[in-house]
Amino acid sequence: MHRVKVRIVEDALDANNTIARANRDDFDRHGVAVINLMSAPGAGKTTLLERALARPLGDGIRVGVLEGDVQGSYDATRIASLHVPVTQINTDSGFGGECHLDANMVRSALPSVPLADIDLLVIENVGNLVCPAEFRVGEDVRVMVAAVTEGEDKPLKYPLMYRTCELVLINKVDLLPHLEVDMEELLANIDDVNPGVETMIVSARTG
């Protein structure tokens, strides 16, 4: 039973990687760089995106956003108000709701993404520290948001996510004076699971 399960999962991940490569080819053909943005629920992905998109990026870089949510389009509405092209993916079709984006969901949404008119696509994944890390979607880089309010132990408890990203944005640091969270220990734990990974300390709320 266990071996059958492992086999099915490996086949599913192989199939996912094949579709991710097809996505990657489409992005390359249009010269679009792609970020897969991941975090736990409520860590601040959308607010950080809003902040980053509120003024034009350097060098006239044109950005598009692909929003992944189980249900609803609350984040897409927030981003669209900044006059950025947004495409919504909902993962709830079929049953209770997928807890992550996979390459095929992204592929299905690509006809609605104006690849010819953007230089950078930000894919905001479903808020979850486990499964999104297992599914490549054709991205160039993986960025995760870690809110200090989640505590310093999370890199050790959700290591795959921290291990497979190229940049960790440490958010909500304006709250540090009101928390019993040890920032040094958080940074040490991140470095333990992904030695040398880049980190950036930010506050979406205070800027």
Residues that bind a second copy (CB under 8 A): 2, 5-6, 9-10, 13, 40-42, 69-72, 74, 94-99, 126-131, 133-134, 147, 149-151, 153-154, 156-160, 172, 174-175, 178-180, 205
Name the residue nearer to a second copy (CB basis): 37 or 129: 129
Three-state secondary structure call for residue 120: strand
Name the residue nearer to a second copy (CB basis): 143 or 144: 144
Cβ–Cβ under 8 Å, residues 124 and 77: no
- For the CB of residue 60, give the shortest distance to a second copy in the complex, in Å: 31
- Name the CA radius of gyration of the chain, rounded: 17
- For the CB of residue 182, give the shortest distance to a second copy in the complex, in Å: 14
Cβ–Cβ under 8 Å, residues 140 and 171: no
- For the CB of residue 62, give the shortest distance to a second copy in the complex, in Å: 27
CA distance 197 to 69: 27
- For the CB of residue 10, give the shortest distance to a second copy in the complex, in Å: 7
Name the residue nearer to a second copy (CB basis): 96 or 195: 96
Cβ–Cβ under 8 Å, residues 167 and 197: yes
- For the CB of residue 134, give the shortest distance to a second copy in the complex, in Å: 4
Name the residue nearer to a second copy (CB basis): 31 or 41: 41
Name the residue nearer to a second copy (CB basis): 30 or 157: 157
Closest CA to 37 of 9, 97, 79, 82: 79
Burial class (CB in 10 A: 0-12, 13-18, 19+), 176: middle
